[in-house]
């Protein structure tokens, strides 16, 4: 767990393993919230906070509660409870201290727990066998990757509004095709070699 392998992890969480463009998670909230840039910023920040904390708590829950009891099958329920508690907590804090901002995003609040990226980051950490530091870093940088996707897509969407697609394609189908092209660009990160082995040794799995 050297510093360089941790840096590699952070970089790959944002680019090569981008939760949206490589792992295909969090697409729902991406499309829903990218129409309103101000709300998008807040929702992105909330998701970052919830994802990082939930990665930490999920690791702790798995290591100190589920594994000793041999109850790994309860992982889904436990992780969802953690995410839900953190989301509700974040919502409460926001409504208490920044009520104007909360007013803008209150419609989008369910998107914070109910998106695949938050739970997905914790589950990926389990699959990769991450330790505590790695889980938290993966959660944090993974959410930054999501924020990056949101930022890029907000801009793309503005341009798409000016386009004139066939009627059936107007709206989400067009957004999906645009996201596909961006995803193709992100594929380029798969071939990056840092001297310690490329981030994605296999081209297709």
In the complex, the residues that contact another protein under the rule CB under 8 A are 1, 21-28, 31, 71, 73-77, 80-81, 83-84, 87-88, 109-110, 113-116, 118-120, 123-124, 127-129, 166-169, 172-177, 179-181, 183-184, 187, 193, 195-198, 200-205
Q: Which is nearer to another protein, 80 or 101 (CB)?
A: 80
Q: Which residues of 10-23 are buried (b: 16+ CB within 10 A; e: fewer)?
A: bbbbbbbbbbbbbb
Residue 51 contacts residue 139 (beta carbons within 8 Å) = yes
Query: Rounded to whole angstroms, how far apart are CA atoms 30 and 180?
Result: 13
Q: How far is the CB of 121 from another protein (least distance, A)?
A: 10
Query: Rounded to whole angstroms, how far apart are CA atoms 77 and 90?
Result: 20
The angle subtended at Cα 141 by Cα 140 and Cα 147, nearest 5°, is 95
Q: How far is the CB of 186 from another protein (least distance, A)?
A: 8
Q: Which is nearer to another protein, 100 or 205 (CB)?
A: 205
Q: How far is the CB of 105 from another protein (least distance, A)?
A: 14
Q: Which is nearer to another protein, 10 or 114 (CB)?
A: 114
Query: Rounded to whole angstroms, how far apart are CA atoms 203 and 205?
Result: 7
Q: How far is the CB of 45 from another protein (least distance, A)?
A: 19
Q: How far is the CB of 162 from another protein (least distance, A)?
A: 18
Query: Rounded to whole angstroms, how far apart are CA atoms 4 and 12?
Result: 12
Which residue in this structure is represented by tokens 């901002």? Answer: 101
For residue 75, give every residue at least 6 positions away whose Cβ sits within 8 Å of its Cβ, in sequence order, or none. 62, 66, 126
Q: Which is nearer to another protein, 60 or 77 (CB)?
A: 77
C-alpha gyration radius of the chain: 18
Q: Which is nearer to another protein, 101 or 183 (CB)?
A: 183
């Amino acid at each position: 767990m050297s510093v360089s392998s941790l840096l590699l992890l952070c970089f790959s969480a944002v680019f090569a393993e981008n939760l949206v463009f490589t792992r295909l998670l969090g697409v729902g909230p991406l499309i829903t919230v990218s129409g309103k840039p101000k709300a998008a910023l807040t929702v992105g920040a909330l998701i970052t906070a919830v994802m990082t904390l939930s990665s930490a708590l999920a690791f702790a829950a798995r290591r100190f509660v589920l594994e000793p009891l041999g109850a790994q099958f309860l992982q889904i329920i436990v992780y969802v409870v953690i995410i839900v508690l953190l989301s509700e907590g974040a919502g409460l804090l926001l409504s208490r201290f920044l009520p104007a901002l909360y007013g803008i995003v209150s419609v989008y609040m369910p998107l914070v727990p109910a998106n695949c990226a938050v739970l997905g980051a914790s589950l990926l950490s389990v699959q990769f066998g991450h330790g505590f530091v790695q889980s938290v870093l993966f959660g944090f940088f993974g959410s930054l990757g999501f924020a990056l996707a949101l930022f890029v897509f907000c801009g793309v969407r503005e341009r798409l509004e000016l386009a004139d697609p066939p009627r059936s394609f107007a709206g989400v189908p067009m957004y999906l095709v645009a996201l596909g092209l961006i995803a193709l660009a992100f594929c380029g990160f798969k071939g990056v070699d840092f001297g310690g082995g490329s981030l994605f040794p296999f081209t297709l799995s």
